[in-house]
Copies of this chain bind each other. A is one copy, B any other.
Amino acid sequence: MNTTPQPGEEVAARAANSRLVRDFGLLIKSATRLEQRIDGELRQECGISHTMLEVLIRLCRRPGEEVSQRHLADDLTLTSSGTTRLLDRMEEAGLVRRIPSPADRRVTLVETTPHGGEVFLRAAAVHARLVERYFVAPLTTDDYGRLTAALGRIETALRDDA
């Protein structure tokens, strides 16, 4: 309880109150809360995590296309070890299957099981409902377009830099 702040602390207080810092915090927080809400709902109603649904989305997007673990890892922004363990859980739950690639014996391809397909159908419906409710409904069409455009530009800046 320092009732007479030191000089350094005033600088700190200014930085802490900066508009940019709070706006950035809002972005992170909104995304996190949306994520948590959707994850919780999916677990409750469909028994899978949001990450798992993302995997199923990739696998079902273009049926018949080969998808490797590496491909999934890049797409989900996970490390390859994280992907390994995620798929371990999904395989154990009977949602996906691992198939050694015939073309390259290092790579493992992933495909959905029939059960995975069923779960995906239900989960995709739940997901769509939630996205509609918390992501689309609160925004005007204009806001919506500009929001995604702005996010796209942030993504580009990140990618260009790395």
Judge whether A26 is part of the interface by a CB distance below 8 angstroms. Answer: yes
Interface residues of A in 54-79 (CB under 8 A from B): 54, 57-58, 60-64, 66, 77
Query: Closest CB of chain B to A45's CB: distance in Å?
Result: 15
Listed in ascending order, the chain A residues whose CB lies under 8 Å from chain B are: 1-3, 5-6, 8-13, 15-18, 20-21, 23-37, 54, 57-58, 60-64, 66, 77, 99, 109, 111, 117-118, 120-121, 124-125, 127-128, 131-139, 143-144, 146-158, 161-162
Contact A143 B149 (CB under 8 A): yes
Q: How long is the Cα–Cα vector from A5 to B111 in the complex, in angstroms?
A: 13
Oligomeric state, in number of copies? 2
Q: Is the beta-carbon distance between A8 and B155 smaller than 8 angstroms?
A: no
* Cβ contact within 8 Å between A77 and B9: no
B1 touches A124 (CB 8 A): no
Residues of B within 8 A of A64 (CB): 1-3, 5
A108–B7 Cα distance when bound, in Å, is: 27
The 3 closest A-B pairs by CB, nearest first: A31-B31, A15-B124, A138-B157
The residue from B23, B36, B63 contacting A5, defined by CB atoms under 8 A apart = B63
